Amino acid sequence: MAQPFTTTSFYGRNVSLTTVIPGPVIAESDDDKTDDEEEPTLPEVNNDAQDEDYVPENVVIEDDAASDDSEDSVQEDEISRPTTSRGRPKGRSGASKKRETAYSWRKKELEVAEIQKEKAFTTPDEVGSALHYFKKVFDDETFEFIAEQTNLYSVQATGSSVNTNSREMQDFISILLYTGLVDMPSYTYYWAQHTRFPPIADLMPLKRFQKLRRYIHFNDNGKADESSDRYYKIRPVMETIRKNFMKLEEEVQFSIDEMMVPYKGTRAGNLGQLLDMSVVNAWLLYRRDTRLLGNGKPKPLCVFRSEIAFSLPRAGRSSRRGRPSSEEAPEPAKKIMRVVVPRPTTDVRYDNIDHWPIHADKGRCRLCPKGWSRMKCSKCQVVLCWTKERNCFLDFHKK
């Protein structure tokens, strides 16, 4: 007699499955069989199933006593057994386990191919100055070309030239190099009274710098519409710098890798980027020559940059005043205003502590418009007059 078997679930669904196992086969004699009767064909059953004590996995024998509680047992089994993300119960015979691959590492010396070492560079006789290396990249012809294009653009824009030359362009570039070292919220602060920076303010007046900054150009702006080159406005200067790079001595061996290059620029747009590229490469040349000659530790980039900014407006120039010779390009006149001492704040001016008159150079009184005096306040540092008619020193410190 067949006995029913029921599984609890099938892929996360409650399914009642009845498995029929055939009972013991009763042998019949050949006499009982008739010719018309055919021998029944039994389904293929696993060998283990022929054992009377065999019970398949995940199969519960359903008898009369347990048939009433079959649904409760299924629900309890589903609650107690954890399931996967797809709803399949964990630990089923159908679930496959991942194979863990074990690696065995062995220590072995790296085989390095022998490289024939050759002399990479020609050893110089001496290490040059910072300006010497800078002009290997940003030469005098570049300054002359920028001055020419700046005059041309000012004529195209206003009808009159700004009358600049290569020397004034070097002063302008020197100011840009200084602004990369000493940062301020606005470039006008370098000329302001309270934040005045003498290396810049003494080099060029603010209005002249603003005028050059307004009209500086690197190519003929009238032919820009005819060209499809996106770098047309800086192409000549960029090509000149590239050709100067090609003149430098190349290395025999190269290593392709990423490298962090120091950057000190903050302003001036495309010109500032070309300047920083020239300064950094000039510094790399200087560092290479310093190491080849064994002259100790090379200068930092900031010191190297400051030396270029200091030397550009001074190297190769005469300190004498007067009319320039016919061989020299006319240099525009510079008018540097006298430094005005800032007026003290009210907290200092009216505190009535240690305001003593001291002798000073002759100057205009800061209180009355027509007075001149050789006396100033020791604390406020302003010239104040003191005569029979008026006492500006006393009035200046009273509210």
Could you read off the pLDDT of 332-387 as tens digits, one per residue?
545 555 556 677 878 888 888 888 889 888 888 888 878 888 888 988 888 888 88
Element (H, E) at 60: strand 60-61
Instruction: Name which residue leads in pLDDT, 19 or 270.
Output: 270
Q: Are residues 154 and 303 in the same domain?
A: yes
246 in a domain, yes or no?
Answer: yes
CA distances from 291 to 125, 251, 259, 277, 279 (A): 13, 15, 19, 21, 18
User: Which pLDDT score, from 0 to 100, does residue 39 have?
Assistant: 52
**Prediction pTM value:** 0.56
User: Which pLDDT score, from 0 to 100, does residue 52 have?
Assistant: 53
Domain boundary among 85, 105, 140: 85
111 in a domain, yes or no?
Answer: no
106 in a domain, yes or no?
Answer: no
pLDDT score of 206 more than 90: yes
Which residue, 264, 335, 336, is CA-closest to 306? 264
367 in a domain, yes or no?
Answer: yes
Domain boundary among 290, 311, 332: 311
285 in a domain, yes or no?
Answer: yes
- Structural domain containing residue 174: 130-311
Q: Are strands 372-377 and 357-364 parallel, antiparallel or unpaired?
A: antiparallel
How far is Cα 173 from Cα 188, in angstroms, rounded to an integer?
A: 16
pLDDT score of 326 more than 50: no
How far is Cα 183 from Cα 179, in angstroms, rounded to an integer?
A: 6
Instruction: Name which residue leads in pLDDT, 318 or 383.
Output: 383
DSSP letter string, 205-249? -HHHHHHHHHH--SS-GGGGGG---TTTTTHHHHHHHHHHHHTSP
Domain boundary among 69, 85, 101: 85
Q: Are residues 135 and 179 in the same domain?
A: yes
Q: Are residues 79 and 141 in the same domain?
A: no
Q: What is the pLDDT of residues 167-204, one digit of tens each?
A: 999 999 999 999 989 999 999 999 998 899 999 999 99
Domain count, the chain: 3
For the record, the structure tokens of 100 come out as: 């863990």
Q: Are residues 136 and 214 in the same domain?
A: yes
Residue 272 pLDDT class (50, 70, 90 cuts): confident
Q: Are residues 282 and 190 in the same domain?
A: yes
Residue type at 228?
S
Q: Are residues 229 and 373 in the same domain?
A: no
pLDDT score of 30 more than 70: no
Q: What percent of the chain has pLDDT over 90?
A: 25
pLDDT score of 253 more than 70: no
Query: Crossing angle for the helix pair 235-246 and 130-137, nearest 10 degrees?
Result: 120
Residue 79 pLDDT class (50, 70, 90 cuts): very low
Q: What are phi and psi of 308, to 5 degrees?
A: -65, -45
> How long a stretch of residues is the chain?
399
Quote the distance between the C-alpha of residue 219 and its chain's center: 30
DSSP conformation class of 150 = H
Residue type at 168?
E
pLDDT score of 267 more than 50: no
376 in a domain, yes or no?
Answer: yes
pLDDT score of 388 more than 60: yes
DSSP conformation class of 56 = -
How far is Cα 76 from Cα 91, in angstroms, rounded to an integer?
A: 16
Q: Are residues 38 and 144 in the same domain?
A: no
Instruction: Name which residue leads in pLDDT, 111 or 59.
Output: 111
Q: Are residues 50 and 169 in the same domain?
A: no
For the record, the structure tokens of 179 come out as: 């602004």
DSSP conformation class of 283 = H
pLDDT score of 16 more than 70: no
Q: Are residues 145 and 243 in the same domain?
A: yes
Which residue, 267, 235, 241, is CA-closest to 134? 241
How far is Cα 12 from Cα 86, in angstroms, rounded to an integer?
A: 9
Average pLDDT over residues 201-211: 93
User: Which pLDDT score, from 0 to 100, does residue 254 have?
Assistant: 65
User: Which pLDDT score, from 0 to 100, does residue 325 have?
Assistant: 45
Q: What is the mean pLDDT of the chain?
A: 75
For the record, the structure tokens of 21 come out as: 């196992």
Collapsing DSSP states into helix, strand and coil, what is residue 361?
A: strand
User: Which pLDDT score, from 0 to 100, does residue 61 have?
Assistant: 47
Q: Are residues 180 and 37 in the same domain?
A: no
Q: What is the pLDDT of residues 91-133, one digit of tens each?
A: 555 455 677 888 888 888 888 777 666 656 778 888 889 999 9
Q: Are residues 246 and 135 in the same domain?
A: yes
Q: Are residues 179 and 230 in the same domain?
A: yes
Angle at 299 between CA 308 and CA 271, to 5 degrees: 35
For the chain, helix, strand, coil in percent to 5 are 35, 5, 60
143 in a domain, yes or no?
Answer: yes
218 in a domain, yes or no?
Answer: yes
Residue type at 323?
R
Contact 64, 57 (CB under 8 A): no
